[in-house]
């Protein structure tokens, strides 16, 4: 009995490692990023964030000069048969401009967004 349980645990661990490796080599993680009234709409490959409900995004100015800002993001919906997750991020602290948006996690995600 314990051998069967140990086999299942090992199989699940191997499966998790395989999924992580495949996810790290998958296509672009941020498929859409735009904003309106300092609310960023962000569409992310859901498997890259492991279907999280909340994220923290770091906004850095494109030129590298200036202050970095944090934006709290909440998942609004899942699209495309659970393939994409759409997040709404509150970027009220950041002045309008073009930013590099970074989401840190098990698999880091990076993209560009215009805050309006």
CA dihedral 12, 17, 19, 21 (to 10 degrees): -170
| CA–centroid distance for 2 within its chain | 38
51 DSSP β-pair partners:
none
The domain spans of the chain are: 28-115
Q: Give me the residues of the chain with pLDDT under 50, please.
A: none
- Residue 18's SS3 state is helix
CATH of 28-115, one of 3.40.50, 2.60.40, 1.20.120, 2.40.390: 2.60.40
What integer pLDDT is reported at residue 106 of this predicted model? 66
């Amino acid at each position: 009995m314990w051998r069967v349980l140990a086999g299942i645990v090992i199989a699940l661990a191997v499966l998790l490692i395989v999924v992580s490796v495949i996810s790290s080599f998958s296509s672009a993680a941020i498929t859409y990023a735009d904003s309106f009234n300092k609310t960023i709409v962000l569409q992310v490959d859901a498997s890259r964030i492991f279907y999280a409900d909340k994220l923290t995004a770091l906004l850095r100015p494109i030129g590298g000069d200036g202050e970095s800002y944090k934006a709290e993001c909440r998942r609004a919906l899942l699209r495309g048969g659970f393939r994409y997750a759409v997040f709404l991020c509150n970027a009220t602290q950041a002045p309008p401009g073009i930013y590099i948006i970074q989401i840190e996690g098990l698999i880091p995600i990076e993209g560009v967004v215009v805050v309006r």
